[in-house]
């Protein structure tokens, strides 16, 4: 364990690009693994959603993984999906290649692969080839650009779920996980940053975006729409709220980890250090639902997560 100081943290993020800062915040901290066991110790979100995920993926024939990343979930579920074909959509080619490598290593069949964004992918995806499960794991953050002129996050998210539903075979499911940024400390840090330094409209848009996600998914607003569009189906939706946490060696690490929401864009532009300074000021004097705690050997912050499972059950009648 290396406990850093505030100055060391600021030095680490000085003169970096956004992409480099993202690796420091997300890959090296949120997704940090124990060196001996290999288990993820930077957060407990995965540990909490894996039992629900296993129920949906076990022995399924065709799985479509959207915003698939590097396929790290395979490390947890590979023994249960040995006969499954995985279809992948992931715009980052380096991650996509890592995913393909993992499939090879675990001897799991690779199906169709797309390096488009999910928005482009869904425009051309053939509805005649349904799948048995669709995974959307911590990827819905990329659906709506809250800096655009007049975003409509609720409509975009509903439209996304309706399109996914149309790709489901009978008896299959959508498995979706996201951070509840109305509750989580990272959401509060981001909102407060845009309130202090951003355009007023961006702050308003972001608050609307966080509300829309919870309205459509946690509060199950989309279920009514799905039922009205598919009256012949027996559709069920289950939304589970987890009191998950981010974990760091120091309170300064937690400040860096709070940037992974909306505060680091995916590009090679210089990272704006004011974001980290603002995050530090917020975690050092936590208020308004930011819950920082010091345990025996780790610090933690509240990063609530919602698990949503939408099932298309066999046709009524
Ligand atoms: C937090 S990661 C989650 C990765 C993976 N689902 C997992 O849980 O391990 C979000 C992923 O979404 C991808 N992404 C970014 N923009 C996207 C878009 N417009 N459409 C689809 N995926 C996108 C990123 O490249 C990244 O791999």
Query: Is the CB of residue 151 below 6 angstroms from any atom belonging to ligand 1?
Result: no
For residue 1, tell me if it sits in a domain. Answer: no
Q: Does residue 43 sit within a domain?
A: yes
98 Cβ closer than 6 Å to some ligand 1 atom: no
CA of 143, closest atom in ligand 1 = 19
Q: What pLDDT, on the 0 to 100 scale, is given for residue 261?
A: 81
Residue 132 lies in a domain: yes
pTM for the whole structure: 0.95
Instruction: Give the closest residue (by CA) to ligand 1 atom 15.
Output: 142
Q: Determine the distance separating the centroid of ligand 1 and the alpha carbon of 265, expressed in angstroms.
A: 13
Establish if 286 belongs to a structural domain.
yes
Q: Domain range for residue 216?
A: 6-313
Gap from CA of 92 to ligand 1 centroid (Å): 8
Q: Count of domains in the chain?
A: 1
Q: List the residue whose alpha carbon is closest to atom 8 of ligand 1.
A: 137
Nearest CA to ligand 1 atom 18: 117
* Average confidence (pLDDT) per 10 residues, the chain, 317 residues: 89 96 94 93 97 96 96 95 97 93 98 96 91 97 91 97 97 97 97 91 95 98 98 96 97 97 89 97 95 95 98 75
The response to whether residue 64 sits with its C-beta less than 6 Å from ligand 1 reads no
Give yes or no for residue 68 CB within 6 A of ligand 1: yes
Task: Indicate whether 140 belongs to any domain.
Answer: yes
Cβ of 32 below 6 Å from ligand 1: no
Residue 179 domain flag? yes
Residue count of the chain: 317
pLDDT for the residue numbered 315: 64
CATH number of the domain where residue 74 is located: 3.40.50.150
Name the CA radius of gyration of the chain, rounded. 20
Tell me if 242 is assigned to some domain. yes
Residues 6+ apart with CB under 8 A from 30: 42, 43, 246, 257, 260
Q: Which residue lies with its CA nearest to atom 25 of ligand 1?
A: 92
Q: Tokens 């050997």 correspond to what residue?
A: 297
Report the pLDDT value the prediction gives residue 1, as an integer from 0 to 100.
64
Q: Is residue 126 part of a domain?
A: yes
Task: Give the pLDDT of residue 307.
Answer: 98
Predicted confidence (pLDDT) per residue in 183-201, tens digit: 999 999 999 999 999 888 9
Counting ligand 1 atoms within 8 A of each CB, the residue from 73, 125, 142, 178 with the most, and so the one to mutate, is 142
């Amino acid at each position: 364990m290396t406990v850093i100081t505030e100055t060391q943290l600021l030095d680490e993020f000085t003169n970096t690009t956004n992409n480099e800062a993202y690796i420091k915040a997300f890959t090296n901290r949120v997704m940090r693994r124990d060196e001996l066991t290999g288990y993820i110790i930077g957060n407990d979100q995965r540990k909490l959603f894996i039992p629900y995920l296993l129920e949906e993926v076990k022995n399924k024939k065709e799985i479509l993984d959207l915003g698939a990343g590097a396929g790290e979930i395979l490390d947890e579920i590979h023994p249960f999906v040995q006969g499954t074909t995985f279809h992948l959509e992931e715009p980052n080619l380096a991650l996509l290649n890592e995913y393909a490598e993992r499939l090879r290593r675990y001897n799991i069949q690779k199906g169709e692969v797309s390096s488009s964004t999910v928005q482009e992918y869904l425009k051309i995806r053939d509805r005649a080839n349904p799948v048995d499960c669709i995974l959307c794991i911590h990827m819905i953050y990329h659906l709506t650009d809250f800096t655009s002129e007049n975003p409509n996050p609720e409509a975009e998210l509903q439209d996304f779920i309706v399109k996914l539903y149309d790709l489901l075979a009978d008896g299959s499911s959508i498995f979706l996980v996201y951070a509840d940024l109305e509750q989580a400390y990272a959401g509060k840090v981001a909102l407060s940053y845009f309130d202090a330094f951003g355009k007023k409209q961006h702050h308003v848009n972001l608050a609307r975006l966080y509300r829309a996600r919870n309205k459509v998914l946690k509060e199950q607003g989309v279920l009514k729409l799905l039922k009205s569009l598919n009256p012949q189906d027996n559709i069920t939706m289950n939304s589970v709220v987890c009191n998950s946490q981010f974990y760091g060696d120091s309170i300064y690490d937690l400040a860096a980890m709070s940037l992974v929401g909306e505060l680091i864009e995916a590009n090679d532009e210089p990272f704006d250090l004011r974001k980290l300074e603002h995050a530090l000021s917020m975690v050092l004097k936590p208020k308004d639902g930011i819950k920082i705690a010091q345990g025996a050997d780790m610090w933690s912050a509240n990063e609530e997560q919602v698990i949503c499972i939408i099932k298309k059950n066999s046709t009524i009648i």
